[in-house]
């Protein structure tokens, strides 16, 4: 495809990344993923498919998990972004090590950011596609974890360890809440 | 990625004015479909008008007992909302059956309804596609047809509409509020979409520059409901067939039957022929099968997707039987 128009001018985009306010000069087509990796050199967030299918680029925006590859950075002007560099120390990080929730590790930052967002959604009572009664309570079973984490692919196939790790932390959080 | 201008709309009037004024401009919601299509060169807007900052992010009880859902409510906020979970569980189930947790947190209700087909030939710039490039032909008809339509398609296009949400909204008789510079109007979700005919590039009845501002749900229908999606993997995949059903039985007769199908047609397919047979009938497996058979009488499968007829039939019968059994034991 020939490009007939010159790129529009860069504009200031203000982000709070891992608690640090920053202003970047970006043109509209720059994804949040590329802004984090190329401009802020936060390379913990990974580029996998770059089309929203694999979850490797998952970050938290205002506490919600999103795929940063399909996010235009300009759309997130003024928002708080948390990447894997900013989540720790978090019990999920230790749990992924303890339960072998990874092999090559490329999907791990996305898995952990996604799991943090997922546990937060679950704490707020969100049902999932495997919840039989969406109006009722939703215990965090292994089946629920698998469904809720289906947006994060692991080509090494470390899924059993990933589910073990998330289950261990999710159960601990549940006990904390009910204690 | 082709360059484009970007503007953030501050209110609805501003948004529709911006799109009207700018050549080749598009509204931008969560971006989960449009950003990908622009990156691939399938969509080539010169300008994107971001509507996610508009004050349309509320889910409110509507006058008369229904629900009004703002167009920029995210899929996640809609599916997780207590009023939706309690009164429209069918809608929660359908939204949760689509995409992934990350994508649902980004995607908006308006954008979901206007997302483009995932027909592989639509996004492959090296193949013929009348929807992407009118007059170029349809590579899908004689290609990989597993995901193609069996109802409502034409010789020019066999692409299916990918939304799960829209299938549930069709079964719930939802309406869509459309706003343009000349005013506000409402259309039924089922009337929002056009069948492809010989103009598959025209997918909806929206006028240029018209914006979806809300989805309006009437009070929930009587009876039990269920969304069931059949796909090639257990999660995070588009439907081969999906069914949104509502069933109510009183004194051994069906008093409410709503049935909408996904994954089989260019639009969310309200199965009116099946519904009219079900209404007043005894709720037996035979009656359920006869109803869906009537709906599928005009189906035109392609070599490679004939299986969808049997899969649709079995899924519809299974969902209706389950709803009936649950109602009988409730």
Which residues make up the CATH 1.10.150.120 domain(s) of chain A? 88-178
B328 contacts: CB under 8 Å, gap ≥ 6: B249
Residue B213 has pLDDT above 70, yes or no: yes
Which residues make up the CATH 3.10.20.30 domain(s) of chain A? 11-86
Residues B106-118: what's their mean pLDDT?
98
pLDDT at A2: 47
Residue A7 has pLDDT above 70, yes or no: yes
pLDDT at B106: 98
Tokens 């911006």 locate to B18
CATH number of A88-178: 1.10.150.120
pLDDT tens per residue across span A154-166: 999 999 999 999 9
The three state secondary structure string of A95-163 is HHHHCCCCCCCCCHHHHHHHHHHHHHHHHCCCCCCCCCCCCCCCCCCHHHHHHHCCCCCCCCCCHHHHH
Residues A54-74: what's their mean pLDDT?
98
pLDDT at A4: 54
Q: Which residues of B touch A (CB under 8 A)?
A: 1-6, 8, 28, 31-32, 35-36, 38-41, 44, 46, 48, 50, 52, 76, 79-80, 82, 85-86, 89, 92-93, 96-97, 99-103, 105-106, 125, 229, 234-236
Residues A12-40: what's their mean pLDDT?
98
Residues A10-17: what's their mean pLDDT?
97
Tokens 């995949």 locate to B237
pLDDT at B196: 98
Q: Which of A70, A114, A125 lies closest to B36 in CB terms?
A: A70
Residues B139-150: what's their mean pLDDT?
97
Integer Cα distance of B191 and B205 in angstroms: 8
May I ask the CATH class of domain A11-86? alpha beta
Q: B36–A146: do the CB atoms touch at under 8 Å?
A: no
pLDDT at B147: 97
**pTM across the whole model:** 0.97
CA distance B133 to chain A (A): 14
Q: What percent of chain B has pLDDT over 90?
A: 97
Residue A178 has pLDDT above 70, yes or no: no
Chain A interface disruption, residue of B2, B91, B100, B125, most A CBs within 10 A: B100
pLDDT at A43: 98
Q: Which residues in chain B are contacts of A134 at CB distance < 8 A?
A: 79, 85, 89, 92-93, 96
- By C-alpha distance, which of B316, B208, B201 is closest to B266? B201
Integer Cα distance of B149 and B155 in angstroms: 11
Domains, chain B, ordered by start: 5-50 (3.30.43.10), 224-329 (3.30.390.50)
Residue B275 has pLDDT above 50, yes or no: yes
- Report chain B's mean pLDDT, rounded to a whole number: 97
pLDDT at A171: 82
More confident residue, B216 or B329: B216
pLDDT tens per residue across span B33-79: 999 999 999 999 999 999 999 999 999 999 889 999 999 999 999 99
Read off the pLDDT band of A1 (50, 70, 90).
very low
pLDDT tens per residue across span B214-270: 999 999 999 999 999 999 999 999 999 999 999 999 999 999 999 999 999 999 999
Other C-beta atoms lying within 10 Å of the C-beta of residue A33: 23
């Amino acid at each position: 495809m020939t490009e007939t128009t010159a790129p529009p001018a860069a504009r200031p985009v203000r982000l709070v990344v891992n608690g640090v306010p920053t202003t970047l000069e970006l043109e509209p087509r720059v994804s949040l993923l590329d802004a984090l990796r190329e401009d802020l050199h936060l390379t913990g967030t990974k580029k996998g498919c770059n089309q929203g299918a694999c979850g490797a680029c998952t970050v938290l925006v205002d506490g919600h998990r999103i795929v940063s590859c399909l996010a235009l950075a300009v759309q997130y002007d003024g928002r708080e972004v948390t990447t894997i560099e900013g989540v720790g120390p978090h019990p999920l990080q230790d749990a992924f090590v303890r339960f072998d929730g990874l092999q090559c590790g490329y999907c791990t930052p996305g898995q952990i950011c996604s799991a943090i967002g997922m546990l937060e959604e679950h704490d707020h009572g969100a049902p999932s596609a495997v919840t039989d009664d969406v109006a009722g309570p939703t215990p965090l079973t292994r089946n629920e974890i698998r469904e809720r984490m289906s947006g994060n692919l692991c080509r090494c196939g470390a899924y059993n360890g990933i589910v073990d790790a998330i289950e261990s932390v999710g159960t601990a959080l549940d006990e904390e809440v009910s204690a | 990625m082709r360059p484009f201008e970007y503007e953030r709309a501050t209110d609805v009037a501003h948004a529709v004015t911006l799109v009207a004024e700018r050549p080749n401009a598009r509204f931008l919601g969560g971006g989960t479909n449009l950003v990908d299509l622009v990156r691939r060169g399938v969509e080539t807007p010169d300008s994107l008008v971001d509507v996610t900052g508009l004050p349309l992010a509320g889910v409110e009880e509507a006058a008369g007992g229904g629900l009004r859902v703002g167009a920029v409510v995210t899929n996640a906020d809609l599916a997780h909302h207590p009023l939706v979970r309690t009164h429209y569980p069918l809608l929660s189930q359908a939204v949760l059956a689509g995409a992934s947790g990350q994508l649902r947190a980004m995607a908006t209700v308006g954008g979901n309804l206007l997302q483009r087909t995932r027909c592989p030939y639509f996004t492959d710039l090296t193949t013929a596609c009348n929807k992407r490039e009118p007059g170029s032909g349809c590579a899908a008809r004689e290609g990989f047809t597993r995901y193609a339509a069996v109802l409502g398609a034409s010789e020019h296009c066999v692409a299916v509409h990918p939304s799960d949400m829209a299938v549930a909204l069709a079964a719930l008789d939802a309406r869509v509020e459309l706003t343009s510079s000349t005013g506000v109007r409402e259309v039924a979700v089922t009337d929002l979409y056009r069948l492809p005919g010989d103009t598959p590039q025209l997918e909806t009845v929206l006028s240029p520059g018209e914006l979806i501002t809300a989805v309006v749900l009437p009070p929930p229908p009587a009876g039990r409901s269920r969304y069931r999606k059949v796909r090639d993997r257990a999660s995070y995949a588009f439907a081969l067939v999906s069914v949104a059903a509502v069933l109510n039985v009183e004194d051994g007769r069906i008093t409410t039957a709503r049935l909408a199908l996904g994954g089989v047609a260019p639009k969310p397919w309200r199965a009116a022929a099946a519904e009219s047979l079900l209404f007043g009938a005894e709720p037996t497996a035979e009656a359920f099968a006869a109803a869906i058979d009537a709906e599928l009488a005009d189906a035109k499968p392609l070599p490679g997707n004939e299986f969808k007829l049997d899969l649709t039939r079995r899924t519809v019968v299974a969902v209706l039987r389950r709803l009936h059994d649950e109602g009988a034991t409730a």
